[in-house]
Amino acid sequence: MYIELNDPDAIVVHAGLFPSIPVYNQSKHHLLHIQMINPIIEEKSGIACTVSKWPSKCAHDANWKFWTHFWNGHNSVQIIFGHTGLNKPIFDDRFVGIDLGCCFGRQLAAYILPEKAIVTVPSHIKINVSARIKKYQLYDDVYTFS
């Protein structure tokens, strides 16, 4: 469900990881589908809450944020992920998001190691999804579509 790389230290996953859970204890659901989470529920109630939602399902609740907002890193390992179509790559020492929505006619991205370079090519798919989807802000200048 994930690939561990040693040089450089990185973990490749489809969607991401739930914070505070070691990669080997992650649920398949999070590895394949995680997007917006709210660990504050757990902090307030003391009850484990590892629910993940689509951006459109929690857009009006500021406590729900993209999982990377809560990810503090894991032994200096960089997490490389996709699944969530972005308007541009997310690049940080702790994680790299490379899904740019190629299947929706946007771009295909690759992360080149060990150089840590992101390259993109345009999609050959011609789909007009702008009328059916909305964009949701994840960071100041990074959006996802849902």
pTM attached to this predicted model: 0.88
Tens digits of per-residue pLDDT, 46-104?
Answer: 556 678 899 889 888 888 999 999 988 777 789 999 999 999 999 988 999 999 988 88
State how far Cα 143 lies from the chain centre. Answer: 11
Strand partners for 119:
110
What whole-number distance in Å separates Cα of residue 23 and Cα of residue 41? 21
What whole-number distance in Å separates Cα of residue 129 and Cα of residue 5? 35
| Res 119: pLDDT | 96
The β-bridge relationship of strands 9-13 and 78-81 is parallel
The Cβ of residue 49 has, within 10 Å, a number of other Cβ atoms equal to 14
Q: Domain map of the chain by residue range?
A: 2-98
Please give the structure tokens belonging to residue 73: 């890193």
